[in-house]
Chains A and B, each alone.
Chain A
Amino acid sequence: MASIWQYANPRKFIDTTDRFLPWLSALALVSLVVGLVWGFFFTPEDYRQGSTVKIIYLHVPSALMAINAWLMMLVASLVWIVRRHHVSALAARAAAPIGATMTVIALVTGAIWGQPMWGTWWAWDPRLTSFLILFLFYLGYMALWAAIENDDTAADLTSVLCLVGSVFALLSRYAVNFWNQGLHQGASLSLDKEENVADVFYHPLLVSIAGFILLFVALVFLRTQTEIRARRMRALLARERLQ
């Protein structure tokens, strides 16, 4: 049986992801268009939130991906620390700008929704604050990669930063459960059907979430390929300079 570690070979990773990328991209596009068009055009207003409920189709998936992108980076960083596979460190690097963008979308759409619903753009609520700190961790992570010339040293240091930042990724997810004192309501999605949003909002939301997940995976594949090529080019140029 083939081992997952075969994809730690950069050539193998590029060849395999090249085969999946067109399908993943197409599926991501279709899911996003269906989810967002369904949610925006074909769902009713909420009796309390009015039409602002339509923001849920952007806010919930982006917040979910903001947290899960960091958790994916954590797994990839641990693989780097334990097994020293370059592809995993580069995959973590590739995921960071995507996670940062998702965090910005979650923060901005949350603020836009909060103004009419809570009467304020921002509150130092546990979930909002931990999300803002998570965004700062994303910026710090990307800055650290950019600041260090040696790839292996950069991978080591950013992996440690990723481990530390994971506390805030988890806090962002569970802050509402830990501290029942903020403005932010509980999770919109739950295994408990009673706590879930109504079906009329739930189904397009699931399609939209699927679209965000597929987009994330497609972009991580594409950007990891780019990081692998960039690393190879740096190595070739360095070797050329020595000759």
Chain B
Amino acid sequence: MMPELGKYAGAVLSSYGISLALLLLLVAVSVRRARRMRRELEEVEKRIRRNG
């Protein structure tokens, strides 16, 4: 299944490894911050409504 990459295997695999890791990190950080901010805003709005 793995294609024959020859003497450039290191270059090709490291390019894919680093790029995919950076993309996954970007997505993970964005999703995590989005969830946290949504939750925190809901809590603040709830508290303000409660306290009038």
Contact = CB atoms under 8 A, between A and B. Distances in A.
Interface of A: 36, 40-41, 45, 50-52, 54-55, 58-59, 62, 97-98, 101, 104-105, 108-109, 112-113, 115-116, 215, 219, 222-223, 225-226, 229-230, 232-233, 236-237, 240
B37 A233 contact: yes
B16 A52 contact: no
B19 A108 contact: yes
With a 10 A CB-CB cut-off, give which of B3, B19, B30, B34 has the most chain A CB atoms.
B19
A56 to B, nearest CB: 10
B30 A219 contact: yes
B34 A58 contact: no
Contact of A45 (B6, B15, B30): B6
B19 A109 contact: yes
B51 to A, nearest CB: 8
A62 B26 CA distance: 13
A108 B15 CA distance: 7
B11 A55 contact: yes
Contacts of B8: 50-52, 116
B48 A240 contact: yes
B12 to A, nearest CB: 5
A240 B14 CA distance: 50
Contact of B44 (A51, A215, A233): A233
Contact of A52 (B11, B19, B38): B11
Given A40-B16, A108-B15, A226-B30, A236 B44 contact: yes
Contact of A109 (B9, B15, B45): B15
B22 A222 contact: no
A58 B48 contact: no
Contacts of A116: 7-8, 11
Interface string B1-42: 101111111011011101100110011001101100110110
Contacts of B33: 223, 226
Contacts of B23: 101, 105, 215
Nearest to A236: B44
A240 B16 CA distance: 48
A67 B45 CA distance: 38
Given A50-B7, A222-B31, A233-B40, A97 B26 contact: yes
